[in-house]
C-alpha cells in the first residue's frame, strides 16, 4: 500500500506533537477479532492497514475509490500506532 506522501504532524493527548501515521479505520476499532497489522515499509511515510485492507489493495492494484471507501483512512500519532495499535486522537485522512 503506497500512495500517501504526507508531511503531517498532529497533536496527540497522550504523546504530544508527533508525526502522523495513516491507518485504516479497522485498526482503530475495539474488537476481539484478529485483524492483522500490515505496515508499509517506508519509515518516512508511515502507513498501516489490516489484512482485509491489504488483500483488497492487492486485488485493486491501486488506491481505487473502492479501496478508499473500504479502508476509510485515518491519521493517527505514530507512537500511538506502534505502542498500542490504537489511537484516541484519530482524524480523517
Encode pLDDT of 23-82 as tens digits: 899 988 888 888 888 877 677 777 889 999 999 999 999 889 999 999 998 887 765 444
Single pTM value for the model? 0.68
Q: CA 39 to CA 31: how far, in whole Å?
A: 19
Beta bridge partners of 47: 22
Element (H, E) at 10: strand 9-12
The position carrying cell 497533536 is: 11
Predicted local confidence at residue 77, as pLDDT: 73
Locate the domains of the chain by residue range: 9-92
Amino acid at each position: 500500500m503506497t500512495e500517501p506522501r504526507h508531511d503531517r504532524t498532529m497533536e496527540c493527548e497522550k504523546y504530544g506533537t508527533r508525526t502522523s501515521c495513516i491507518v485504516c479505520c479497522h485498526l482503530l476499532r475495539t474488537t476481539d477479532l484478529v485483524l492483522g497489522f500490515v505496515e508499509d515499509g517506508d519509515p518516512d511515510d508511515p502507513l498501516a492497514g489490516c489484512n482485509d485492507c491489504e488483500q483488497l489493495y492487492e486485488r485493486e492494484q491501486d488506491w481505487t475509490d473502492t479501496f478508499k471507501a473500504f479502508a476509510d483512512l485515518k491519521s493517527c500519532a505514530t507512537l500511538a500506532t506502534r505502542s498500542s495499535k490504537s489511537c484516541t486522537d484519530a482524524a480523517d485522512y
